[in-house]
Structure 1
Amino acid sequence: MEYELPLTLSRCTESVGEEIDLNRGIVVIPKTHDDVLTDKQSINYKEHRVKFLSWLLNVGKDPTKAKGYSPHTVYGTAYRTAKFDKWRWENCGGYSMPPTEDEAKAFIEWLAFDYEESETAKGKLQEGVQRYGKWLQHRKNRDEWEFDYNFDSSGGNHQPQDFLTREERQQIRQAALRRGEIPSPGDVRGEEKEGWLTHIGHLLNKPRDAINADDWEQVEGWKVPSLVSVSLDAGLRPDEVRRASTQWVDVQNGVLRIPKEESSKNVGNWTVGLKDETVAYLERWLEERDRYDRYEETDALWLTARGNRYGSNSLRRLLHRLCDEAGIETANRKMSWYTIRHSVGTYMTKERDLAAAKAQLRHKNPKTTMKYDAVPVEDRKDALDRMG
């Protein structure tokens, strides 16, 4: 049976006693779910859904201002997110709550290739999924969800997000090199400072007691250059940057080896080729990495200055800083870490083929790679000329 939100609903804010009156009709559990949920699962699902839909009504539109969506909007979102829930239970291993980013990405991919409805319908479903992700981000401190496809709910076409041009890729590499720096001598103490003195002395071939402030400024840091260069080669997803381990790096063979259990898609072990300069950056970074106290008890390949693993937001901020430094315009462009990934798919397809792009980007479904098979008209004309 369907379960609806009550007529009077307590607000999901820090205020006490505030309430909002609603017209009945916002369905928490639709009848279509009767055949897929046990009694226990229904109780658990109802608990999560009431919290989620209440959050949308009260603060979901703008959590910083405690501004919620209209009951009409939440009514539609309730049905669309319930559809998403049923799909993932049937396609991703059975009942679970709350949804995960991987399940959301799989659903969006299904919309792109297998859902035979209008672009508007796809866009509305994606809006609902994005609101689920927004709730989890704000209420449960989850990472922001990002997708390879974005549908226009007003009827536009689904397209990959913006990608970097060849020139922009080179500009980003150069900007990353300029951001490579090590801590100043006043920022480190004790054993960490002793380690840096040894490191600088080794690099500059100077005795430890002869190292001065100018020497500290001469030594370059390799965290940002290695992170950016690996991502430009491997098209790392934000989740893969977060999970990246020193054990992935095979300097001798110039590759990343991503184990199945660590892959964000979790579909198999992947061996990803790297440019020689990227391997050189990684070698230098791994040596430098040992000088930071924050890496003592972790095998994380990269951490932020605060010792946290990178996430979508921190990577987006880094990319925007690099774009600013490189003079790359970001206005009216959807620039996230996926922008780097899409450039890898675009140019790997153009330079080699879809099979190479599929392997480099670690796609399970060949259909996912097909979006990069968009050869410009000029290139197709050139091909016709060569064909005679």
Structure 2
Amino acid sequence: MNDADEATDPLDGITVLTEPTADLLNERQQIDFRTTRENCLQWLLAFGKHPKKADGYAASTVKTRAHRMDQFYRWVWQNETNGYTTDVTHDHADAWLKQIAMTDHSVAHKSNCRKALLMLFRWREHEHGLDEWTPEFSFSTGSRTATPRDFLTRAERTKIREAALEAGSVPNYKSLSPEARDRWKAHLAQRFGKPKAEVTPADWDRANGWKIPSLVATGLDAGLRPIEVERASPRWVDVDNSALRIPKAESSKNEGHWVVSLQDETAAMLDRWLAQRATNPKYDDSDHLWLTREGNPYGSSALRTVLRRLCDTADIDYEHRQMSWYAVRHSTGTYMTREEDLAAAQTQLRHTSEQTTMKYDQVPLEDRQSALERM
């Protein structure tokens, strides 16, 4: 490469493959990672700020953030995947950000780590088709603690639970006229991917199943993280005691066994779902409590889709809100703290540190509105 080529290299001055990263990778992995990094950094320089306008970030910004992205990848390999991968996920990002939140680093450092991840996942969104990442935390320069994103109000929690009971339901088979029944058979044939002639009354029961109601109700009660929804197993469900019993080996942090309280109504939904699940061939070789229609475990993207569809059904506006699945978890933490105390919320949300739970020690919007009315 001659001097002219070096002068026009967009990555000049930006370290693509750092020594700590090279030390962790073999030669082929180094080549693969270098290619991934170059593609990402070049995209950020050219398109990162406003992709449609081809407006990129300044080289100085990319240089600083590239260093933190590199740290993130190494952390994933050493703590999440037990080895090299470039397929970093939203759950990896959330986990790293939580770990960063509990360190003694400055708030500015934590905020910059968050911004670096936002840049990385914006590239993955545009170039790899990944869904938009909504961080669980934001960091304020006026505080050393992390603050939760939007959460569902008490009224919205009720609406979401009720909308889940309505989701995907169809009229009672026996109540339909022959003409209406024929139309619904065509709908169910398309929904379940089978010929219309093979649709039976059992498909009506399947359409009115308890998968989504049980998933949503359990998520609302237990404040399940997306990774916990994905890992959830029928073995966790204790219907008799209205609880989830999460073994240490399957908990999100692998740091302890957890017994999580459920409402009796939620336990009843899970009991009905387990009975239906046992008759569904999709689950014959699966230990997952819930699977999508395509037979995959629920991840952050699928859960976000479920929640937003329920918001649409419940007429809950989320245009200017961070309506990810974590809105469910945040609402559980906020109201558990309000109704009981931080210790109860810490146990219910499966936090190993009370400092993590403290971010839920806030007054909900409707309580502040009531206070204003009384003033």
The two structures have a TM-score, normalised by structure 2, of 0.75
Matches within 5 A, 1:39-188: 39=23, 41=25, 43=27, 46-59=30-43, 69-70=56-57, 71-84=59-72, 88=75, 92=79, 96-98=83-85, 104-119=93-108, 121-133=109-121, 147-151=135-139, 158-181=146-169, 186=189, 187=192
| Structure-2 change in CA distance of 1:74 and 1:176 (3 Å) | same
| Structure-2 change in CA distance of 1:8 and 1:109 (3 Å) | farther
User: 1-side partners of 2:76 and 2:290: how far apart?
Assistant: 34
User: 2-side partners of 1:7 and 1:310: how far apart?
Assistant: 51
| Superposed CA RMSD | 4.2
| Structure-2 change in CA distance of 1:366 and 1:97 (3 Å) | farther
| Structure-2 change in CA distance of 1:59 and 1:142 (3 Å) | same
Q: Name the count of aligned residue pairs.
A: 342
Give CA deviations for 1:236-276 in whole Å, capped at 9, x if unaligned. Answer: 11111111111111112211111222222222221111101
Contact 1:7-1:24 within 8 A present in 2 as well: no
Partner of 2:175: none
User: 2-side partners of 1:217 and 1:285: how far apart?
Assistant: 12
Give CA deviations for 1:294-332 in whole Å, capped at 9, x if unaligned. Answer: 112212111111211111111111111111111111011
SS of the equivalent of 1:319 reads helix
SS of the equivalent of 2:16 reads strand
User: 1-side partners of 2:268 and 2:98: how far apart?
Assistant: 36
User: 1-side partners of 2:55 and 2:322: how far apart?
Assistant: 25
Gaps of 5+ in 1: 1-5, 10-19, 201-215, 384-388
User: 2-side partners of 1:218 and 1:110: how far apart?
Assistant: 42
User: 1-side partners of 2:22 and 2:11: how far apart?
Assistant: 29
Which is worse superposed, 344-353 or 156-165? 156-165
| Structure-2 change in CA distance of 1:169 and 1:50 (3 Å) | same
Partner of 2:245: 257
User: 1-side partners of 2:81 and 2:287: how far apart?
Assistant: 33
Contact 2:100-2:110 within 8 A present in 1 as well: yes
| Structure-2 change in CA distance of 1:49 and 1:328 (3 Å) | same
Contact 1:7-1:23 within 8 A present in 2 as well: no
Give CA deviations for 1:124-173 in whole Å, capped at 9, x if unaligned. Answer: 21122344456677888988766431237999984201011100000101
Give CA deviations for 1:161-192 in whole Å, capped at 9, x if unaligned. Answer: 101110000010111111153795644779xx
* 1:358 is the counterpart of 2:343: no
Contact 2:80-2:92 within 8 A present in 1 as well: no
Contact 2:291-2:298 within 8 A present in 1 as well: yes
* 1:336 is the counterpart of 2:324: yes
| Structure-2 change in CA distance of 1:55 and 1:223 (3 Å) | same
| Structure-2 change in CA distance of 1:332 and 1:154 (3 Å) | farther
Higher relative contact order structure (alpha carbons within 8 Å, sequence separation ≥ 6) = 2
Partner of 1:327: 315
Which amino acid is 2:208 matched to? Answer: E
User: 2-side partners of 1:7 and 1:79: how far apart?
Assistant: 26
Report deviation, 1:378: 9.9
Pairing partner for 2:336 from 342, 348, 352? 348
* 1:240 is the counterpart of 2:228: yes
User: 1-side partners of 2:194 and 2:80: how far apart?
Assistant: 50
Contact 1:56-1:74 within 8 A present in 2 as well: no
Which amino acid is 1:148 matched to? Answer: E
Partner of 2:215: 227
| Structure-2 change in CA distance of 1:258 and 1:231 (3 Å) | same
User: 1-side partners of 2:284 and 2:5: how far apart?
Assistant: 53
| Structure-2 change in CA distance of 1:309 and 1:138 (3 Å) | farther
Which is worse superposed, 217-226 or 231-240? 217-226
Pairing partner for 2:271 from 261, 283, 296? 283
Normalized per residue, which structure has more helix? Answer: 2
Contact 2:97-2:114 within 8 A present in 1 as well: yes
User: 2-side partners of 1:363 and 1:111: how far apart?
Assistant: 15
Which amino acid is 1:311 matched to? Answer: G
Partner of 1:298: 286
User: 2-side partners of 1:73 and 1:80: how far apart?
Assistant: 11
Pairing partner for 1:25 from 5, 13, 28? 13
Contact 2:229-2:298 within 8 A present in 1 as well: yes
Percent pairwise identity: 41
Partner of 1:308: 296
